[in-house]
Structure 1
Amino acid sequence: MYDPIHADHTYFLFLLLLSNEVLFAYDATKIKEKLTPGKGEYFSSTVIEIIDGDTVLLANNMEVRLVGLQAPKIALGRKDFKEWPLGYEAKDVLSKLIIGKEVTLFYGGRELDRYGRTLAHLFTNDNIWVQGEMLKNGMARVYSFADNRSIVEEMLEEEYQARLQNRGIWGLEFYKIKPQEESGKYTNSFQVISGRIRDVAEVRNNTYLNFGDDYRNDFTIVIPNRVKKMFQERDINLTNFKDKNIFVRGWLKYYNGPSIDLSHPEQLVIQ
Structure 2
Amino acid sequence: MKKASLAGAFFVSAIWLCGAQGACPSPGSLPQVAVQRVVDGDTLYLEDGRRIRMIGLNSPELGKRGRADEPFAVAARQRLEALVAANDGRVGVLPGKDDRDDYGRTLAHVYSARGENLEERLIAEGLGFLVAVAPNVDLVSCQQVAERQARQAGAGLWKKSPVVRAEQIDAPGFVLMSGRVESVRRNRGGIWIELQGPVVLHIAPGLQRRFDASALERLKGRKIEARGWVVDRARRGGNKAGQARWMLPLTDPAMLEAVL
When the two structures are superposed, what TM-score results if normalisation uses the length of structure 2? 0.77
Deviation readout 1:147-175 (Å, 9 max, x if unpaired): 422222322221221111111112346xx
158, 164, 181: which one aligns with 2:167: 181
> CA separation in 2, counterparts of 1:124 and 1:207?
39
105, 111, 117: which one aligns with 1:123: 111
224, 227, 243: which one aligns with 1:249: 227
Match of 1:205 in 2: 189
Given the superposition, is the C-alpha separation of residues 80 and 125 from structure 1 closer, same or farther in structure 2, using an over 3 Å criterion?
same
Given the superposition, is the C-alpha separation of residues 170 and 4 from structure 1 closer, same or farther in structure 2, using an over 3 Å criterion?
farther
Report if the CA contact (8 A) 1:103-1:125 is conserved. yes
Aligned identity (percent) is 23
How many aligned residue pairs are there?
232
Deviation for aligned residue 1:90: 1.0
- SS of residue in 1 equivalent to 2:218: helix
Match of 2:77 in 1: 91
> CA separation in 2, counterparts of 1:104 and 1:82?
32
Gaps of 5+ in 1: 8-24
* Structure with the bigger percentage of helix: 1
Deviation for aligned residue 1:236: 4.6
Match of 2:66 in 1: 80
Deviation readout 1:41-91 (Å, 9 max, x if unpaired): xx431334222111122333332221221112224xx53343222222111
Aligned ranges 1:133-152 → 2 under 5 Å: 133-152=121-140
Match of 1:28 in 2: 25
- SS of residue in 1 equivalent to 2:99: coil
Gaps of 5+ in 2: 1-11, 234-242
Deviation for aligned residue 1:140: 0.9
> CA separation in 2, counterparts of 1:57 and 1:172?
31
> CA separation in 1, counterparts of 2:217 and 2:13?
19
Deviation for aligned residue 1:229: 2.5
Match of 1:5 in 2: 15
Deviation readout 1:119-147 (Å, 9 max, x if unpaired): 11111122221001110111111233234
> CA separation in 1, counterparts of 2:13 and 2:166?
22
When the two structures are superposed, what TM-score results if normalisation uses the length of structure 1? 0.74
Given the superposition, is the C-alpha separation of residues 244 and 83 from structure 1 closer, same or farther in structure 2, using an over 3 Å criterion?
same
Equivalent AA in structure 1 for residue 66 of structure 2 = D
- SS of residue in 1 equivalent to 2:151: helix
